[in-house]
Structure 1
Amino acid sequence: MEVSVSGTGIIRAEFDNEQVGRQAIIRIIEDNGLKVLASFQPLVKTSNSDNECCAHDHVSDNKIDDHDHDHDHAHDHDHTHGEAAAGFQQYSAPALSFCMLLAGIIADHFIHPSFFSGWLRLLWYSLAYIPVGYPVVKRGLIYALKGDVFTEFILMGIATLGAFAIGEYPEGVAVMLFYTIGELFQDAAVNKAKRSIKSLLDVRPKTAAVLRNGNYIQISPDEVAIEETIQVKAGERVPLDGQLLNERSSFNTAALTGESKPSTIEKGETVLAGMINQEKVVEVKVTKLFNDSSLARILTLVQEATTRKAKTELFIRKFSRVYTPIVVFLATAIVLLPALIVQDYIFRDWLYRALVFLVVSCPCALVISIPLGYFGGIGAASRAGILFKGSNFLDLIGKVNYVVMDKTGTLTKGVFQVQNVINFTGDKTDWLKAAAALESKSTHPVAKAIVDYAGNDVNLEISNPEEIAGGGMKGLLNGKEIFAGNSKLMKMAGISIPDDVTALTDTVVMVAIDGVLLGYLVIADEIKGDSKAAVEALHRRNIQTIMLSGDKQTVVNRIANELKIDSAFGDLLPEGKVEKVSALKGDPKNIVAFVGDGLNDAPVLALSDIGIAMGGLGSDAAIETADVIIQTDQPSKIAQAIEIGKETNRIVWQNITMAFIVKAIVLILGAGGLATMWEAVFADVGVAMLAILNAIRIQKKNFSDY
């Protein structure tokens, strides 16, 4: 067995025995002391049964959960739906069966050759049955020996072999043939959905040109260290997150944000892995390791999203496990009970009705089309720059009736600039430098604005810096206490504030040293261009909007009035935001989504029913806590995400309704002797095909207008 481990945390192994190989991979993981969720996915299957399998390592609760990542028809059975299996062998068996079945039907109904009867006719249809029937019956027996008796494989095996037993050879072959063809179409649809999701974001560059010993050398991105310099040529993808060292360049960010419009990045600004350099050769100073990059994080989120099931999906799977044995017992009753109550009871006729009943009862249409619908929803959202962390959140977001939004960085750009400086006493240059030195210890956008305004020549030493949530900063400068923040912070410090300063409607940062208020800075933020459209789109859907902010109430009111937000609350500490959302959640009828981007938003994101993080400028804590991530930082994507969730839910329930209605009708007709195997095939395979076609509609739909 050969084993290799990639820098992205994927273990690849080639082995002769799949079970032995998996156990070996698990031992490797455990020997390295890793806490992982190992997902095994066959990548190659060849005629000599050699396998190549990969284990994706994700942090978990110190357990190994073995998934095949292939659809499972409600029984978590591995149908071996690997893409590598697609090809001539996959289609040759049903093609052979189809040709033999067609020839047999022509002989039966048109040519009528004298030799095509008796044992020769049985042999012909048996040979037509084996290529498609043997794999299904074998799989059913394997699962039955393991204790899982009531599977769709057993249903199909009993139904088709029963048809042979009563002399209905063509129908027995046809049922298994169309079941197999339906499986192939289902596999193709599921694989296409998975490829669609993977191809959206699987744009990891294979190499990086890193500067070492005065020369650029090509190495794997996961071997590049922080602070090293990499070179990205025009047309190449950026391999790692970093800071641009050149004056400026234009980058295509579609892989990360879903937006095709190029973005101009200036010197010193952040460049993210996955962006495409469009102008000239640039140099980038690496700030994050490959596995910590924004692209790696997005890839992980999308991969994990497909493993988190919606309640509807989980219910259907549980329902199918109960439903399947029930229909088996009902089919048995259809055969046996009439013998007690029907005078002209004919065993063959009632057995045929029971076989039709079994074929119709197969739950394939439900357990394939439903996850496929969610795959499509996740893919459609990803293309729009919206990342759902699981299909369960697709379900829930469509029920949201309250959207609570943070102000800074969500509805406003979060890019603050100092508009004015008011000095009360002394030289404003001195206290401004002191304030900048203190604010340099914070990552808040307001703090950055003050540092930028003061310039780069600030070299004062601040000791014991402390960030006061919702207030500002405090620290020690040459043994003297220095405060920089809002009126709330000044009152906490016992510093008096003039009434005319308190009355200001703009964002104000006051600076006090040794208990004396020295002056203040007026800071301005700009509303995002699509914030108003975002609020209007939510109102069109009868969704109430609320804005929460730590900024002063006068600033909050001004922005709320401009954007027509229903309610707005300012002067809030993080716990104040938690209280507001908790109050909303006190009514069980409310489904609350909170949208934020800052570190202090993480508790509210976790508390809300749906946490939505602005992923472009948002903090890592907010993004990790959130259920949905908007990569473009556009609030208008909130309504788009809600619409994608609603459309996904509509398609899923359309499929459930259609499958139940058609199956119920044909089940009743079959039990009454009014439906044949051909109708049963339509009720099973035909409905599954229609449900699949309906499910993939969402992958084609354009949600850009929402």
Structure 2
Amino acid sequence: MSNILQHSHDNHDHDHGNDVQKVNTPEWKSHLNLIIALGIFLVMMVLEYGFHFNTNNYLGLVIFLFAYYLAGSDVLKLAWVKARRSDFFNEFSLMSIATIGAFSIGAYSEGVAVMIFYSIGEWFQESAVKKAKNNIKALLDIRPDTVTVIRNNTPIDVKPTEVVIGEMIQVKPGEKVALDGILNTEHATFNTAALTGESKPDEKYNGDEILAGMINESKLAEVKVTSLFRDSKLSKILEMVQDATARKSKTQLFISRFAKIYTPIVFALAVLLVVIPSFIYPDYVFTDWLYRGLVFLVISCPCALVVSIPLGYFGGISLASKNGILFKGGNFLDVMSTIDTVVMDKTGTLTKGVFKVQEMDTEMDRNDFIKIVAAIESKSSHPIAKAITQYADGKYEDTVVKDVEEIAGHGLRGTVDGKDVLAGNGKLLRKFNISFPDHIENIVESIVVVAVDKRYAGYITVADEIKEDAAHTISDLKKNDILTIMLSGDKDTIVQKTAYLLGLDKAFGALLPENKVNKVKELKNANKRIAFVGDGVNDAPVIALADVGIAMGGLGSDAAIETADVVIQTDQPSKILSAIKIGKITKWIVWQNIILAMAVKIAVLILGAEGVASLWEAVIADVGVALLAILNAVRIQAKKI
């Protein structure tokens, strides 16, 4: 038996992994004693059943005891350590008492078989749990050990923790970005798979945000650092994942409590099974009933439950991470599987949060019109102004702009190449007694109405662009009988139009943060199980209130991400349904394991008490169920969502 087998009070009654093990040591070497014990046992079985040698003698006892010691010394030690702490009712005690009892009645080969196969089961369990934990860690632990920083015009390699905000770092082709920052190079291509789960290259331009964990796929790039190493989004993601594996679901907590009650009851029943028949049956034979009690102890071991269930949640968290979704604990996988209402913010959640020109209508030459409008808007930092200047694509750069004045709540006034220009809303033109077509007031999108030399010249509409997968997401959610609602602070006409285009069940606009909170409270009072999805600081109170709070991790504010229970790194609405599916898959597989383990154990317990099942059947059933449950749990990680 491996020295890896340890007990942890912080998790469940097993901890099948130990990070102290040397990284380069082959796993089989850690289990060499067990392998030798298995070899001895198989040789003895061949001698007994193949060549009819009598192994149930003094020499056989010595050989079997040696094999027993090799396979079970760690189990015996753990049983002793726990007994000294007044913890008598655990799986190690179950195995120790059952196997020692088997030797005491002359069932040497069966006693060794129980310990060997139990230890083999432990080996598989250790490997499965270790793999699940490593998969989670490997998904995101991609921070480089060194970073090239430019100091005194010279590139030098330092630890990422030594770089301060404002410094310039170089990222070579194929190298991982170590810190969050702003791209200082004209253009670069990055692989964002580690952060978002998307393998498609992401084109970045000067001034775009670059995050730690991205991989440079093009030429040498320079990045101006905007956050310390410990504050990077990648570092925060890693903390979330580490916390997630430690946070237990209600099912895990129930099984842990169940095992603590179940084990002493099993001990008591085993004792009663040996003692009570002596008062009932005249032909009572102690060794026969002791054997039945030992079978009862072996099959009752709760290993399959206390190992496969946490492993199932590890698998769910791992599968989610592969798909760019971070669950902050197994408990949220459980809750996500029960969601019947998804409430969403609009900007940054269902829309891209980036304004773009939608329509341009003018009585002038279109090129001259956009040149004039972009020129005056270039003097404003408003998102709508930026959308117009980007649309103009530099056509206004040779114009002369003077005397620009921003009129609050109205728009801009100034001169462009000597022409008097007004650009703003309808109120601005009315303020200067300039008439314009009536239908303009009925346009839903944000609009910039323009006058040149005191005459109406045309308008430009600007709107936030709907995300590519938003409509498909809403359709799929509704197909799964999930109510879809949008709550937004944007003006109600825009909200209702967006809701209509997407096919949402309900939508409410012009809401302040407290109004959003009240709407969610109303839904909770109607016994709805709510997931709220948002990205802004103003969404944090509602994210905290919902049964599951989901934050868009790419564009999302730190407040939203910190408050959320689930973080979608790709900013794709379609991941909402993926998160629900992963929650349901995890819960279903966990319950499959619970039902399988309990059904087999109860059946064999009854057969053992009746004297039908032997120690052979007991150990095969116990180890077999544990292995089936583990393989079933591991299956989660291979699922395609």
TM-score with structure 1 setting the length? 0.78
Question: What does residue 623 of structure 2 align with?
Answer: 685
Shift of 1:448: 6.5
- String of CA shifts for 1:384-411, please: whole Å, max 9, x gaps: 1111111111111011000011111111
Shift of 1:82: 4.9
- String of CA shifts for 1:325-371, please: whole Å, max 9, x gaps: 00000000000011111121111011000000000110000011111
Contact kept, 8 Å, 1:410 with 1:633, in 2: the verdict is: yes
Question: What does residue 95 of structure 1 align with?
Answer: 35
- String of CA shifts for 1:482-501, please: whole Å, max 9, x gaps: xx9999xxxxxxxxxx9977
- The 3 A distance-change label for structure 1 pair 248 and 45 is farther
In the aligned structure 2, how far is the partner of 1:208 from the partner of 1:566? Answer: 49
Shift of 1:108: 2.4
Shift of 1:74: 3.4
Contact kept, 8 Å, 1:70 with 1:79, in 2: the verdict is: no
Give the counterpart of 2:598 among 639, 660, 671: 660
Contact kept, 8 Å, 2:190 with 2:217, in 1: the verdict is: yes
Contact kept, 8 Å, 2:7 with 2:14, in 1: the verdict is: no
Amino acid at match of 2:173: A
1:644 aligns with 2:582: yes
Give the counterpart of 2:564 among 609, 617, 626: 626
Query: Which range moves more in the overlay, 256-265 or 84-93?
Result: 84-93
- The 3 A distance-change label for structure 1 pair 486 and 661 is farther
- String of CA shifts for 1:572-620, please: whole Å, max 9, x gaps: 11111111111111123x2100111111111110000011111111111
Amino acid at match of 2:521: S
**Local SS of the residue matching 1:568:** strand
In the aligned structure 1, how far is the partner of 2:546 from the partner of 2:96? Answer: 48
- The 3 A distance-change label for structure 1 pair 402 and 485 is farther
Amino acid at match of 1:87: E
Contact kept, 8 Å, 1:414 with 1:526, in 2: the verdict is: yes
Amino acid at match of 2:571: D
Amino acid at match of 1:598: G
**Local SS of the residue matching 1:206:** coil
- The 3 A distance-change label for structure 1 pair 520 and 627 is farther
Contact kept, 8 Å, 1:74 with 1:318, in 2: the verdict is: no
Note the 1:180-199 alignment, pairs <5 A: 180-199=119-138
- The 3 A distance-change label for structure 1 pair 326 and 153 is same
**Local SS of the residue matching 1:416:** strand
Give the counterpart of 1:292 among 203, 228, 231: 231
Question: What does residue 416 of structure 2 align with?
Answer: none
1:324 aligns with 2:263: yes
Shift of 1:111: 2.4
Contact kept, 8 Å, 1:97 with 1:177, in 2: the verdict is: yes
Contact kept, 8 Å, 1:72 with 1:78, in 2: the verdict is: no
Amino acid at match of 2:265: I
Question: What does residue 591 of structure 1 align with?
Answer: 529
* Ranges in structure 1 where 5+ consecutive residues have no aligned partner: 1-43, 47-67, 423-427, 440-444, 466-471, 475-483, 488-497, 512-518
In the aligned structure 1, how far is the partner of 2:57 from the partner of 2:44? Answer: 13
In the aligned structure 1, how far is the partner of 2:634 from the partner of 2:425? Answer: 53
Question: What does residue 414 of structure 2 align with?
Answer: none
Amino acid at match of 1:246: T
Shift of 1:77: 6.0
Question: What does residue 157 of structure 1 align with?
Answer: 96
In the aligned structure 1, how far is the partner of 2:122 from the partner of 2:425? Answer: 64
In the aligned structure 2, how far is the partner of 1:510 from the partner of 1:399? Answer: 48
Amino acid at match of 2:206: K
**Local SS of the residue matching 2:466:** coil
**Local SS of the residue matching 1:279:** coil
Question: What does residue 542 of structure 2 align with?
Answer: 604
Aligned pairs, how many?
Answer: 593
Note the 1:467-546 alignment, pairs <5 A: 503-507=442-446, 522-546=461-485
Give the counterpart of 2:335 among 396, 420, 430: 396
- The 3 A distance-change label for structure 1 pair 338 and 432 is farther
In the aligned structure 2, how far is the partner of 1:180 from the partner of 1:563? Answer: 56
Question: What does residue 115 of structure 2 align with?
Answer: 176
- The 3 A distance-change label for structure 1 pair 430 and 390 is closer
Question: What does residue 12 of structure 1 align with?
Answer: none
Note the 1:379-418 alignment, pairs <5 A: 379-417=318-356
**Local SS of the residue matching 2:354:** coil
- The 3 A distance-change label for structure 1 pair 117 and 529 is closer
Give the counterpart of 1:671 among 588, 609, 614: 609
Amino acid at match of 1:542: D
1:262 aligns with 2:215: no
- String of CA shifts for 1:128-180, please: whole Å, max 9, x gaps: 11111221111111111111111110000000000000100000000000010
Contact kept, 8 Å, 1:71 with 1:368, in 2: the verdict is: no
* Ranges in structure 2 where 5+ consecutive residues have no aligned partner: 362-371, 412-422, 427-436, 451-457
In the aligned structure 1, how far is the partner of 2:403 from the partner of 2:158? Answer: 39
Amino acid at match of 1:622: A
- The 3 A distance-change label for structure 1 pair 509 and 621 is farther
In the aligned structure 2, how far is the partner of 1:686 from the partner of 1:695? Answer: 14
**Local SS of the residue matching 2:353:** coil
Note the 1:108-507 alignment, pairs <5 A: 108-113=48-53, 116-417=55-356, 436=380, 503-507=442-446
1:105 aligns with 2:49: no
Shift of 1:271: 0.9
Contact kept, 8 Å, 2:378 with 2:385, in 1: the verdict is: no
Contact kept, 8 Å, 2:477 with 2:577, in 1: the verdict is: yes
Question: What does residue 499 of structure 2 align with?
Answer: 560
**Local SS of the residue matching 1:309:** coil
Contact kept, 8 Å, 1:208 with 1:218, in 2: the verdict is: yes
Shift of 1:181: 0.5
Greater C-alpha radius of gyration: 2
Contact kept, 8 Å, 2:487 with 2:516, in 1: the verdict is: yes
In the aligned structure 2, how far is the partner of 1:580 from the partner of 1:655? Answer: 39
Contact kept, 8 Å, 1:70 with 1:78, in 2: the verdict is: no
- The 3 A distance-change label for structure 1 pair 459 and 544 is farther
In the aligned structure 2, how far is the partner of 1:403 from the partner of 1:473? Answer: 37
Amino acid at match of 1:600: N
- The 3 A distance-change label for structure 1 pair 619 and 508 is farther
Contact kept, 8 Å, 2:3 with 2:74, in 1: the verdict is: no
Contact kept, 8 Å, 2:16 with 2:126, in 1: the verdict is: no
- String of CA shifts for 1:435-494, please: whole Å, max 9, x gaps: 946x5xxxxx668658989999999999xx9xxxxxx999xxxxxxxxx9999xxxxxxx
In the aligned structure 2, how far is the partner of 1:230 from the partner of 1:107? Answer: 70
**Local SS of the residue matching 1:545:** strand
In the aligned structure 2, how far is the partner of 1:105 from the partner of 1:151? Answer: 30
Amino acid at match of 1:95: I
Amino acid at match of 1:667: L
Shift of 1:429: 9.0
Shift of 1:638: 0.7
Question: What does residue 551 of structure 1 align with?
Answer: 490
Shift of 1:193: 0.7
Contact kept, 8 Å, 1:433 with 1:458, in 2: the verdict is: no
**Local SS of the residue matching 1:525:** strand
- The 3 A distance-change label for structure 1 pair 142 and 104 is same
**Local SS of the residue matching 2:188:** strand
**Local SS of the residue matching 2:511:** coil
**Local SS of the residue matching 1:612:** strand
Contact kept, 8 Å, 1:70 with 1:81, in 2: the verdict is: no
In the aligned structure 1, how far is the partner of 2:514 from the partner of 2:130? Answer: 45
Shift of 1:105: 1.9
